[in-house]
């Protein structure tokens, strides 16, 4: 009996040892499992959400439209400026450089209201060479170049509006031919609209090898808005209301041309 009692106690002791060992192994094996399951950090959550957003965006991305994505840009070149007065008469109180700038600002305002981006070669009374004017335009993705001038003649009865585009060089590329074709159409449109809105005499569309028309790379026209040497026309030109009609005619021609060609 004594032997059985000892055996019984021994087996209980062994059971206890096994239980303790089992518990110890369980704890050892459970620790790495807990460690491999990281607590989500803010960074981790953001990363997960970002992945989901990217996936969602890709799935819902619409087909890109193919077409005109930038606003159409018009360059307005105010003739003369600074030391270059253009046609000048202190006696009659006019400076061509000032009249071209005033008219250019009016054209700019109208075009901006119509939704166009406008860049002026000069915003104030400064001198610019003809090359500089063309360079300003050529650096931009510009759609049209409009140079604004007023006329003068020893013949004081000469009057009216005329619009110029560049003559075609003999060795012209297809692009240049296209540019000049568009220039000619714009010149005609500008003459029609300005004459309509001012009631001025039409002197027609003409060709000339002016530097600003020759050196620009986009369709370009030069408008002579009337004769400062003609008494009656000069008095009309000196009236800002007349210049406004003139500017509206120029802006409408640009708008009509760009909406029908692009």
Q: Select 98 or 109, whichever has its Cβ closest to Zn ion.
A: 98
Smallest Cα–Cα separation from 215: which of 121, 123, 149, 124? 121
Using CB under 5 A, which of 74, 79, 110, 145 touches Zn ion? 79
Size of the residue set binding Zn ion (CB under 5 A) = 3
CB 73 within 8 A of CB 119: yes
Q: How many residues does the chain have?
A: 262
Burial of 181-218, coded b for 16+ CB within 10 Å and e otherwise, reads: ebbbbbbbbbbbbbbebbebeebebeeeebebbebbeb
Q: Is 86 in the site for Zn ion (CB under 5 A)?
A: yes
Rg (C-alpha) for the chain, rounded Å, is 40
Cβ of residue 96: shortest distance to Zn ion, in angstroms?
A: 5
Residue 85 Cβ vs Zn ion, minimum distance, rounded to whole Å: 10
Contact of 75 with 146, CB cutoff 8 Å: yes
Measured from the CB atom, the residue of 84 and 185 that comes closer to Zn ion is 84
Minimum distance from residue 262 beta carbon to Zn ion (Å): 29
* 97 or 193: CB nearest Zn ion: 97
- Alpha carbons 21 and 259: distance in angstroms, whole number: 89
Minimum CB distance to Zn ion, residue 201 (Å): 18
Chain residues 147-176 in contact with Zn ion, contact rule CB under 5 A: 149
* Cβ nearer to Zn ion, comparing 106 with 212: 212
CA dist 249 to 51, 93, 187, Å?
55, 25, 12
Closest distance of CB 229 from Zn ion, Å: 12
Q: In the complex with Zn ion, which residue's Cβ is closer, 62 or 93?
A: 93
H or E segment at 3? helix 2-35
Q: Considering the rule CB under 5 A, would residue 226 count as an interface residue with Zn ion?
A: no
Smallest gap, in angstroms, from Cβ of residue 99 to Zn ion?
9
Q: Which is nearer to Zn ion, 79 or 226 (CB)?
A: 79
Positions touching Zn ion (CB under 5 A) are 79, 86, 149
């Amino acid at each position: 009996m004594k032997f059985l009692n000892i055996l019984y106690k021994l087996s209980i002791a062994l059971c206890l040892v096994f239980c303790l060992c089992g518990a110890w192994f369980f704890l050892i094996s459970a620790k790495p499992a807990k460690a491999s399951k990281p607590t989500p950090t803010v960074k981790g959550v953001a990363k997960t959400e970002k992945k989901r957003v990217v996936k969602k965006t890709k799935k819902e991305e619409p087909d890109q439209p193919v077409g005109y994505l930038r606003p159409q840009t018009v360059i307005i070149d105010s003739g003369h400026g600074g030391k270059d007065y253009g046609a000048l008469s202190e006696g009659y109180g006019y400076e061509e450089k000032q009249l071209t700038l005033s008219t250019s600002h009016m054209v700019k305002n109208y075009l901006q209201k119509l939704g166009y981006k406008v860049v002026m070669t000069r915003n104030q009374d400064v001198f610019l060479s003809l090359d500089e004017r063309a360079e300003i335009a050529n650096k931009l993705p510009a759609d049209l170049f409009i140079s604004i001038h007023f006329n003068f003649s020893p013949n004081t009865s000469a009057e009216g509006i005329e619009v110029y585009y560049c003559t075609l060089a003999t060795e012209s590329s297809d692009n240049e031919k296209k540019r000049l074709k568009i220039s000619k159409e714009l010149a005609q449109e500008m003459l029609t609209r300005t004459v309509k809105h001012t009631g001025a005499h039409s002197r027609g569309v003409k060709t000339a090898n002016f530097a600003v028309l020759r050196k620009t790379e986009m369709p370009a026209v030069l408008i002579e808005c009337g004769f400062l040497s003609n008494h009656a026309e000069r008095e009309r030109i000196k009236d800002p209301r007349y210049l406004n009609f003139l500017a509206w005619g120029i802006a409408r021609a640009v708008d009509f041309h760009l909406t029908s060609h692009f």
